[in-house]
């Protein structure tokens, strides 16, 4: 059985287990690579919906913004099904879904 290394927060030296992720375009190839972040170092939920530039760095001083201009969102009918988000209680405050009135 192969054990994947636990993902780490993008901020080097941050030991907090990441709770969220977004995608960054991999340099040179048409693929994307996941970027993981803990609560304190997550970009905005809107920003995380976009694919970011290869050189994107989420500057701690600019959070929840990042240093790049993310790629535009694909047309709605091409949006892949998003993975199920973690439990709401496990999301950074600025990622919390709006309260439902049911």
Choices 14-22, 28-36, 78-86, 87-95 (CB under 5 A): range interacting with Zn ion: 14-22
Which one, 58 or 80, has the nearer CB to Zn ion?
A: 58
Site for Zn ion in 26-55 (CB under 5 A): 38, 41, 52
Q: Is 63 among the residues that bind Zn ion (CB under 5 A)?
A: no
Q: Is 11 among the residues that bind Zn ion (CB under 5 A)?
A: yes
Surface-to-core class of residue 56, CB atoms within 10 Å of its CB (0-12 exposed, 13-18 middle, 19+ buried): buried
Show Cβ contacts of residue 63 under 8 Å, excluding neighbours closer than 6 positions: 41, 42, 43
Q: Closest Cα partner for 57 from 43, 45, 71?
A: 43
Q: Which residues contact Zn ion by CB under 5 A?
A: 9, 11, 14, 16, 38, 41, 52, 56, 66, 68
């Amino acid at each position: 059985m192969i054990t994947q290394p636990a993902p780490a927060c993008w901020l080097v030296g941050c030991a907090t287990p990441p709770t969220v992720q977004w995608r960054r375009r991999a340099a040179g190839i048409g693929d994307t690579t996941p970027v993981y972040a803990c609560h304190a170092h997550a970009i905005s939920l809107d920003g995380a919906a976009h694919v970011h530039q290869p050189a994107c760095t989420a500057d701690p001083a600019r959070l929840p913004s990042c240093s790049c201009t993310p790629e535009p969102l694909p047309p709605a009918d091409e949006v892949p099904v998003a993975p199920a988000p973690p439990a709401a209680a496990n999301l950074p405050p600025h990622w919390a879904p709006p309260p439902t009135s049911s």
